[in-house]
Structure 1
């Protein structure tokens, strides 16, 4: 039985929630493998909207859902999210949800430091959500993080808090921010421990057992390829690897178990926060796309920046991320536009580029080279087969496939899960 990894192929917010939900009905297990509660997924099931940030999308369907070791976990945010989803009639118990015992925790001090650094950066700020994801990943790499398993050992917690505060309080003093009291932090962790520990599990072992039963596993990524800490628009990126290569590492399985990689991208481009955006629109068309696409962040509520489809960027994401096919979402948002533009290259410092440069100054300098295509006046909203699409919409999709050098496996035409055109079933690979 094939496994599938779902990753974003742009700057996040590509509509992964609906696609993951659509696939999760066919999966037996859903695994989150990176990110934190800065990643928002919106699912619409039978007219009910569920907004998830940290929970794997499979929980709303009662599928075994796993938070892998590559995720940084804010235990208080997780408990709040569980309570909210429980209130919507979805029971989330330790039988349904498992958290890797070696996953690192996001602590209140991480959000405190995150906000203090953003404020100190002024106009040079990264545009983080301020939820502490970056500082938590820094502690993980710095080998001073508190992990889920540490919640079961007071002596370890006390020693690790001392080490943490030696580092963090020095940073906070330098930023002119309030320092953290170790006793208060310890008390908070001891209070939350019995609420989180029932969900703790040896996830790598469980996934190995699942592999031998030939069940289908869906690996769920967060954010998008251009926010990858190595391959994205650095430093305006997240603090983890968002590409499919991290699915194995962040879940505790070998790379051969990841399977088919499905990249999600919109029929246009959006971005939240600071950083370069070559095809960004500052006119009425950009406003129209944002309004029709309801482009507001699930987690932050911030309005997303909108622009034309960038085929150069998506092609690069496909090659770096090992993407086998894409799910093209929100095609219907482009309905009614007289003409559409696709970025097919960049101009930079007198050169023509067919890739997105790594240099920060070059990224800020590039100008898009556009190819213009006719739009369509007919509605594609809710289309469930190719025959329901206007000829110009089909031509647009085919041209996108040519430019990104990958096939469209699924096409989404509304937030409703059944408004999906299946071209190739990833689980059938």
Structure 2
């Protein structure tokens, strides 16, 4: 295999919001394929350029401003309605339409998946799980029924009338059964929204728009990958929200670490992988769930994670070097990496937001040290010597 083919994995090492968009942008060029290997449109990765452009990426890879191609893998859940809204927003700040491909087995979210998600989360009241309300998990749950599964392939191959029949079965049969199984009775307002015939037409229009902007391609050694010598696997959420590691039910129904990446690396035929586990200089968590080092009243500026009705206000805390090292170690330990040359790196973002002394936890004790000593502590505790730091919102503020 040609060693000039470079692959980088950008993985959140906490509860998300670690700066994955910034790092993906930094590792991308015009010849890069950014591969979305997990999650769906609920992910929000911010990229800001030195010329003032700013976008929160949901479907499109965070290398889009650099002209990178986006590939939505079989592990990514597409949302045609959200895709269209993002495409229109990007059209105002990009010079050319982004190039996007999707695997035909990628699942598709319908309006009812989003509405069920919101109805159930709303019904939980103060016991909410912290969902984004975008229907990601509901799409996966519905797709456990083969006769109700909708993929990118289905959207492309079905005539509108056939797809319409699928949607009507979802609306008329699946939705009531699903809500009953969840023990939730929707309000009259929600019942009217669920039954609205506009949902079908809106989704069909969104699917047509999606197909007009997205090429369909299998992974592996497909020509989409043959033409590139640079790949960035852009992760969503973080290791502490992983479906098999996080504190249930406050998790995402997704593998957030290396698991899907290694599968895709082998499919493409790559034999080297730079792995960048990312964290902030402090800790954050958006949504409900355990947050060991949360500090009441602590606040940092964050323009992306504004308070919303589903996840509430972004929570802040202090970094925990023990927890960080543990989850990174487990991410590597869980994988079969034979035949793949791994380069380990750590990224610490938002260094500009903390003062000259950083408070964090190591060996279950609270410490306050200068920036250089903080980074040395992370090196010692994690065993990863190569650390990237960010000192602002753009790629030009990164130090390697």
Output the TM-score relative to the length of structure 2: 0.84
Deviation digits for residues 383-411 of structure 1 (CA, Å, limit 9, x no counterpart): xxxxxxxxx32111001111122234311
Deviation digits for residues 142-181 of structure 1 (CA, Å, limit 9, x no counterpart): 4332112222313652453355342222233541114534
1:271–1:304 contact (8 Å) kept in structure 2 = yes
2:348 matches 1:342: no
2:174 corresponds to which residue?
167
2:73–2:219 contact (8 Å) kept in structure 1 = no
1:385 corresponds to which residue?
none
> What are the within-5 Å matches in structure 2 for residues 95-110 of structure 1?
96-110=99-113
Give the drift of 1:16: 1.1
1:30 corresponds to which residue?
34
Cα separation, 2, equivalents of 1:255 and 1:326? 25
Give the drift of 1:120: 2.1
1:242 corresponds to which residue?
256
2:53 corresponds to which residue?
48
Cα separation, 1, equivalents of 2:216 and 2:42? 25
2:349 matches 1:329: yes
Give the drift of 1:81: 0.6
Q: Secondary structure at the match of 1:195?
A: helix
Could you say what the CA RMSD is over the residues aligned between the two structures, in angstroms? 2.7
Give the drift of 1:199: 3.6
2:100–2:215 contact (8 Å) kept in structure 1 = no
2:298 matches 1:294: no
2:212 corresponds to which residue?
198
> What are the within-5 Å matches in structure 2 for residues 106-255 of structure 1?
106-143=109-146, 144-152=148-156, 153-154=158-159, 156-165=162-171, 166-172=173-179, 174-177=183-186, 178-179=190-191, 180-181=194-195, 184-205=198-219, 207-209=221-223, 211-212=225-226, 215-249=229-263, 253=267
Output the TM-score relative to the length of structure 1: 0.79
Cα separation, 2, equivalents of 1:59 and 1:67? 13
Relative to 1, partners in 2 of residues 1:252 and 1:80: Cα closer, same or farther, differing over 3 Å?
farther
Where do 5+ consecutive residues of structure 2 fail to align?
Answer: 333-342
Deviation digits for residues 321-346 of structure 1 (CA, Å, limit 9, x no counterpart): 23822111111222244xx432235x
1:356 corresponds to which residue?
none
Give the drift of 1:264: 0.9
Relative to 1, partners in 2 of residues 1:335 and 1:324: Cα closer, same or farther, differing over 3 Å?
same
Where do 5+ consecutive residues of structure 1 fail to align?
Answer: 346-368, 375-391, 423-429
1:309–1:341 contact (8 Å) kept in structure 2 = yes
Deviation digits for residues 279-309 of structure 1 (CA, Å, limit 9, x no counterpart): 00014xx23xx2xx42651695953111111
Q: Secondary structure at the match of 2:396?
A: coil
Cα separation, 1, equivalents of 2:240 and 2:167? 34
1:306 corresponds to which residue?
316
1:382 corresponds to which residue?
none
1:425 corresponds to which residue?
none
1:248–1:258 contact (8 Å) kept in structure 2 = no
Relative to 1, partners in 2 of residues 1:256 and 1:182: Cα closer, same or farther, differing over 3 Å?
farther
Q: Secondary structure at the match of 2:256?
A: coil
Stretch deviating more after TM superposition (321-330 or 111-120): 321-330
